[in-house]
Structure 1
Amino acid sequence: MSNIGLLTVTHDPNGKNINFFKALQEDLEEIYPALFITISDQSSSELIKEMERSKFNVKIIPKLGAAQARREVVNFGLSGDNDYFHYCDFDRLLTWGKTYLDELRTIVAEIPHYDYQILGRTDRAMNTHPEEWIETEKISNKICSLELGKTVDITAGSCSFSRQSAELINEHSKEKMTDAEWAMIVRRIGHLSVEYSAVEGLEYHEEINGVSRQNGTSHEWLARLKLSLIISENAIYSSNSSSQTERRNYVSKI
């Protein structure tokens, strides 16, 4: 069996996922030969202690956004000797393990078959999400699908890749969002294959994945739309040297 490392990140000031992690800890430690997590320095001290007591390799980092946390954990994971990696946002991982643990085991076992694999959601899993997530993510998913020449769900917070792909990502990732960027680095710079699988376990679980809506519904829609725009831009322009002039012209018109 290939040596697969789990890569994950979290920012959890209130420690809301501590109990979910404790319930799943033994399963995760059994599924993955190595586990790496970057935790923001603003996260719950109790959560940090729980992670440090586990088999996870833990790195505390400044809170500089999800993209930087993801880059940090790829770099952290490369300090080990793993041949392949499974990246999954921590809350997504906990939801997956809580609801579809057998599917998670199956997906992890298949990781060595791919240079890079986008892990997205089945129609059923997608439809468990808030409406503003579903509708705005349709845009970025459509644009990324056009760029890759296949239908993908790029915004589910999970993917798998070889060590070679991880090294490419570690060297070249720099965008504000990594969802589409990583796949484009692997394809456009590494000239490696990018495959896709849809899973049930990346569904939305309100208690684990829920976010506060302090600004109201219209502000939440706008925030999700802005994220969709950034991811869509990355799908078209990231690691695409022939499109840099086009990108500058596009940005100047906004």
Structure 2
Amino acid sequence: MPKIGLLTVTHDPDGKNIRVFNELQRELEDIYGELFLTISEESSIEFIKEMENSKFTLKIIPKKGAAEARREVVDFGLNGESDYYHYCDFDRLLTWGANHLQELRTIVSAIPNHDYLILGRTERAMNTHPPEWVETEKITNKICSLELGMDLDITAGSCSFSRKAAEYINKYSCEKMTDSEWAMIAHRIAKLKVVYAAVEGLEYHEDINGLNRVLSNSEKWLGRLRLALIISEAAIKTGK
């Protein structure tokens, strides 16, 4: 039976996700054979202590952005014994577990069937997001769909892959955002089959998935537009 490891990252200075994590801790520890977390050094001490008292293997890292945290957790996870990995942003994982736990279990059990699986959102799950997310991510997802030759949603913060794919990602990942880059590393460099599945659990809840900082509406749109450009550029150039 292949061992499946969870790879996840978080930056939680206010400890806002402690309560939801406490409610889901046993379920998450039951689903995965290993659990790896990189957590920013700016996260709340209380939250770090909660994680240290769980089955998660923890690595505290400087806050250098999502891409660096994701690369750190892949490298960290390769120190374990897992044959396959499920990457999911920590806030996304909590939302998924809190609202669609059985779907999460089902998806994880099927991970060993694929070398690289992009996990995206159903139409319903996508439409739970703020409009500036939905509209800008349409562009990114269209570009990535054209590059991979299938309709997909690549910006939902979750994917799964084999140890072989993880080793390639660990060696080649260098972009400012990894959402499309990792899939292209698997597809173009490792020559692995990339497949796609849409799930309900990657939906949006403001109290879990919302930003910690207050922005004007125009700043929100501009920020998401910048992300869309970075992810789209990585989709086109990675591995070519």
TM-score (norm 2): 0.99
Distance 1:177 1:238 in 2: 11
1:40-55 alignment runs, 5 A limit: 40-55=40-55
Distance 1:166 1:173 in 2: 10
Q: Cα distance, 1:214 vs. partner?
A: 2.5
- 2:127 match: 127
Q: Cα distance, 1:213 vs. partner?
A: 5.7
- 2:194 match: 194
8 Å CA contact 1:114, 1:161 repeated in 2: yes
Larger Rg over CA atoms:
1
Q: What is the CA deviation profile of residues 24-47 of structure 1, one whole-angstrom value per residue up to 9, with x for unaligned ones?
A: 000000000100000000000000
Distance 1:103 1:95 in 2: 12
Secondary structure of 1:154's partner?
Answer: coil
- 1:23 match: 23
Unaligned runs of 5+ residues in structure 1 are: 241-254
Quote the RMSD (CA, aligned, Å): 0.7
Q: Match of 2:206, as an amino acid?
A: E
8 Å CA contact 1:114, 1:195 repeated in 2: yes
- 1:250 match: none
Q: Cα distance, 1:212 vs. partner?
A: 4.5
Q: What is the CA deviation profile of residues 84-140 of structure 1, one whole-angstrom value per residue up to 9, with x for unaligned ones?
A: 000000000000000000000000000000000000000000000000000000000
Distance 1:212 1:60 in 2: 20
- 2:103 match: 103
Secondary structure of 1:119's partner?
Answer: strand
Secondary structure of 2:191's partner?
Answer: coil
Q: Match of 1:5, as an amino acid?
A: G
Unaligned runs of 5+ residues in structure 2 are: none
Distance 1:172 1:101 in 2: 33
Secondary structure of 2:2's partner?
Answer: coil
Distance 1:151 1:31 in 2: 29
Q: Match of 2:113, as an amino acid?
A: H
Q: Point out 4+ residue stretches in structure 1 off by more than 3 angstroms.
A: none
Secondary structure of 1:58's partner?
Answer: strand
Q: Cα distance, 1:220 vs. partner?
A: 0.5
Q: State the number of aligned residues.
A: 240
Q: What is the CA deviation profile of residues 204-231 of structure 1, one whole-angstrom value per residue up to 9, with x for unaligned ones?
A: 0111001256231011100000000000
Secondary structure of 2:25's partner?
Answer: helix
Distance 2:98 2:212 in 1: 22
- 2:140 match: 140
Q: What is the CA deviation profile of residues 5-52 of structure 1, one whole-angstrom value per residue up to 9, with x for unaligned ones?
A: 000000000000001100000000000010000000000000000000
Distance 2:115 2:212 in 1: 36
